[in-house]
Chains A and B, each alone.
Chain A
Amino acid sequence: MASTTLPDVSTRRQKAGIAPLEYTRRLWLQLILAGSFVFLYFPIFALIAFSFNDSKRNITWQGFTFDYYVKAFTNSSLHEAALNTLIIASISTVVSTVLGAMIGLVLQRYRFPGKGGYDGLIHLPIVIPEVCLGVAMLAFFSAISMPLGIATVTISHIAFSFPFVAVVVRARMEGFDLALEEASRDLGASEWQTFWNVTFPYMVPGVVAGALLAMTLSLDDFVITFFTSGPGSTTFPVKIYSMVRFSVTPEVNAASTILIVLTLALTVAAMMIQSRSDKKTKKANG
C-alpha cells in the first residue's frame, strides 16, 4: 500500500513542478499577497486619483483636472501651515538627531548605574499611545503656563522623535570595532580627533537615517501636534484635518498627495542610505 501511494504523491508534485518549499508558487498564497496589497493601497490610490477629479464633491469621477493643485498651491492658509510644518520639522530634526545620536552612542557603549531603567524609559515614547503623549504634553505646557505655539509643537516633536534616532544610531554602532578607536589613540590622536576622524564617519549612515526618520515623523504628525498647537501654529496635517471637517473637496486630496509624496521621498532616501552602508560594511567584513 505504502509503496504505491508514495510515488503517486511525488509524481503529482512533479507534474505541478512545485518543490515542497516553493510556497510563493502556490495559488492561495499569491491570492493572499495580492489581496493584502489591494487592501493597503486602494485607499491611497483612490485619494491620489480623486485629487485630479473635476468636481466639487469627491464622490463621482467627472473628469481630469489640475485645478485643485493650483488651488492648494494658492491657498494662503495652507501656505502658512506648510511653512509652520517646515520650521517645526527642521528644528525638531536637528535637535532630535543630535540628542538621539548622543544617547544612542552612550547606551550602546557604556555601562552606568541605572542604565537598565534609563534604557527602558528612553524608549517609552515609541510605544506610548500618541494621544496620551499629546494630553501629557498639553497638561505640561499649561502647568508651566507656556502659551501654545510653534515652540510647544517643536518641543513635543523633539520629545517623541529623538528616541527613534537613538534606536537607529545604537543599532548602527553595534557593528563598530572598538579597536579602531584604540588604534587611533595609539597613533597619537586625542579623544576629540578620534571621535571625528574614526567614530563619527562610521556613525554617519545611522545618523542620516535617524534624521530622515525624525523628519518624516515630524512632517506628518497629527495627534500630538493637534494637542500642542495654538492659533497661528497649525501644521499641514492639522490643517488638512480642519479642511476635511469643512468639506471634502479634491483640494484636500491634492494637499494630502503633496504630503504623501514628500514623506515617501524622504523614507526612500533613508532606506537607500541604510542599505548602501550595509552593503559597504558587509564588503569590509567579508
Chain B
Amino acid sequence: MVQTRKVKAFGPDVGTDRRKPIIEIRNVVKAFGAGVRAVDDVSLDIGEGEFFALLGPSGCGKTTLLRMLAGFEVPTSGDIMIAGERMEGVNPNRRPVNMVFQSYAVFPHMNVERNVGYGLRVTGVAEAEIKTRVAEALSLVKLGEFGKRMPNQLSGGQRQRVALARALVKHPKVLLLDEPLSALDAKLREAMQLELVRLQKTVGITFVIVTHDQDEALSMANRIAVMEKGKVRQVAPPADLYEFPNSRFVADFIGKMNLFEGRVSGVQNGNLQIDIKGLDRVAVPFTGSASGNIAIAIRPEKVKLGQTDPGGDNVRLRGRVTELAYYGNESHVYLENQTGMPISVNLKNATRTTLPSISIGDELWMSWAPTDTLVLTE
C-alpha cells in the first residue's frame, strides 16, 4: 500500500478499472430544452461488482445520469450499454437494472411481502418461487418478521429496506440508488452505509449510488465520479480522489482544502518552483507540465503547528490564531497570515484534557512537507 502511494505521489490515478465493464457510457448528453445541459458529454465505464458513486453538488446532473441508466430519461445523444447491450429504445421494465428511489416509492396499498414480490408477480413468476425469493430478500435486509406490515406501520429506515429488498429480489445486474440515505438521521445513516456495503459484498452485483454527501461516497464506494455542471471532473478511488484531486473544484469539494493561487517560475531538479504571495518561493515535486497561473493546496490535517521555525525544506509561514472550533475528536484552528487567505489546521485531541494547548491570538509557525503539497493546474 505504502509503496503504491509513493509511486502515485508523482502520478495521480486516472481511475481506470481493469474489471470487465458492466455499464459503458459513451459521450452521453442530456439537454432539457434549449441551453440546459443537465448531463454534458459524459463517458464512463463501471466495472462488474463495483460499488460506484456519482458525487457532486446539487443540480450537477447526477440524478439525470442515473435516470438515463434506468431508462426514465432518453439521452439527447450518446450511447449507453449495459451488460454489453445497447440500451437505446429499451424500456425501463426490460433493462437488467433496478432502482431504489429517493422517496423509496414503496407501494402504500400493499404490505411488505406484496411490495417485495411485486416485480416477480408482474413478470409472471410462479407463486411458489415468489414466496421463497421474497423470504430470502427480506432476510437479506433483516426484515424477516415484517412481511405482513403495511408501509405506514414502518419507520423510514425500514421502508428503505423494503425498497432495497424489492429491487434485489429481481436479481438485477446493476442496482441504482438515488440518494438512498438522505432522508435518514445521522446515526441511522452511518449504520445504513455499513449495511449497504455489507449487502453489496453479499450479493456481489454492481451498485451505482448517487449522493451529494462526500463522506458517504468516500466511506462506501470503491470508485467515485465527481460531477460539476453536467461534466465528470474526475473518476478515482476514494483515497486517490482525496489525496490527488485533479482540479481546484474537486480539491475544494472533497474535504477541506487550503488553496493558494500562484505563478510557476521554473523547474529545478524535478521540483516545480512556484511564487506565492506571502510564501516566498515554494518548491514542489511535480512530474506533469505546468506554467503560468496555478494553485497549490494543502489539507488542514497535514499542516503542523509549532512555536519555533521547523527549518529544513518544509513549506512554512507564520500566522496568528483568529478562531478555534472544538469538535470533540479534533479542533479546527484558523490562522491569519501574509498570504491573505486564512489557513485552517486540524489538530487531533489525542490526550484527555480540557485545557486548550492553543488560544486565540497566539503567534505560531505553520509548516508542511513539500511532498504533501498539491499542484493544481485546473
Residues of A within 8 A of B (CB): 177, 179-180, 182-190, 193, 197-198, 201-202, 280-281, 283-284
Contact = CB atoms under 8 A, between A and B. Distances in A.
Contacts of A189: 93, 118-119, 122-123
Contacts of B92: 182, 185-186
Interface string B228-268: 00000000000000000000000000000000000000000
A284 B108 contact: yes
A188 B152 contact: no
Given A187-B93, A187-B166, A284-B151, A197 B118 contact: yes
B222 interface: no
14 contacts: A179-B105, A183-B163, A185-B92, A186-B70, A186-B71, A187-B119, A187-B170, A189-B118, A190-B93, A190-B122, A202-B108, A202-B109, A284-B108, A284-B151
Given A182-B72, A182-B92, A188 B105 contact: no
Contacts of A281: 108
A183 B109 contact: no
A283 to B, nearest CB: 5
B10 interface: no
B209 to A, nearest CB: 16
For B99, B102, B105, the residue with the greatest tally of chain A CB atoms inside 10 Å of its CB is B105
Interface in B91-141: 91-93, 97-99, 101-103, 105, 107-109, 118-119, 122-123
Interface string B142-156: 000000000110000
Interface in B56-87: 70-72
B170 A188 contact: yes
A180 B170 contact: no
Nearest to B123: A188
Contacts of B101: 179, 182-183
A202 to B, nearest CB: 7
Contacts of A283: 152
A281 B118 CA distance: 21
A33 B359 CA distance: 70
B177 to A, nearest CB: 12
A191 B233 CA distance: 37
Contacts of B109: 201-202
B105 A177 contact: yes
Given A182-B101, A197-B118, 19 more contacts: A177-B105, A180-B108, A182-B70, A182-B72, A182-B99, A184-B107, A184-B118, A185-B72, A185-B92, A185-B93, A186-B99, A187-B98, A187-B122, A188-B170, A189-B119, A193-B122, A197-B107, A198-B107, A280-B152
Given A185-B91, A188-B170, A202-B109, A177 B103 contact: yes
B91 A182 contact: no
Contacts of B107: 180, 183-184, 197-198
Contacts of A197: 107, 118, 122
A188 B92 CA distance: 7
A188 B119 contact: yes
B166 to A, nearest CB: 7
Nearest to B124: A188
A187 B118 contact: yes
Contacts of A198: 107
A190 B118 CA distance: 12
Nearest to B150: A284
B312 to A, nearest CB: 58
For A185, A186, A190, A202, the residue with the greatest tally of chain B CB atoms inside 10 Å of its CB is A186
Contacts of B152: 280, 283-284
Given A180-B107, A182-B101, A188 B122 contact: yes
A187 B98 CA distance: 7
For B70, B152, B167, the residue with the greatest tally of chain A CB atoms inside 10 Å of its CB is B152
Contacts of B122: 184, 187-190, 193, 197
A197 B103 CA distance: 19
A21 B91 CA distance: 58
What are the 8 tightest A-B residue pairs by CB atom distance, in nearest-first order? A187-B119, A183-B105, A179-B105, A189-B122, A284-B152, A188-B123, A185-B92, A284-B108
Contacts of B71: 186
A126 to B, nearest CB: 30
B105 A182 contact: yes
Contacts of A184: 107, 118, 122
Contact of B103 (A179, A188, A193): A179
A63 B80 CA distance: 86
Contacts of A188: 93, 119, 122-123, 170
A280 B151 CA distance: 11
Nearest to A187: B119
Contacts of B93: 185-190
Nearest to B67: A182
Contacts of B108: 180, 202, 280-281, 284
A88 B155 CA distance: 49
A25 B167 CA distance: 57
A258 B154 CA distance: 47
Contacts of A182: 70, 72, 92, 99, 101, 105
Contacts of A202: 108-109
Contacts of A190: 93, 122
B95 to A, nearest CB: 8
A41 B91 CA distance: 59
Contacts of A183: 99, 101, 105, 107, 163, 166
A286 B102 CA distance: 16
Contacts of B105: 177, 179-180, 182-183
A207 to B, nearest CB: 14
A191 to B, nearest CB: 9
Contacts of B97: 186
B45 to A, nearest CB: 23
Nearest to A193: B122
Interface in B150-174: 151-152, 163, 166-167, 170
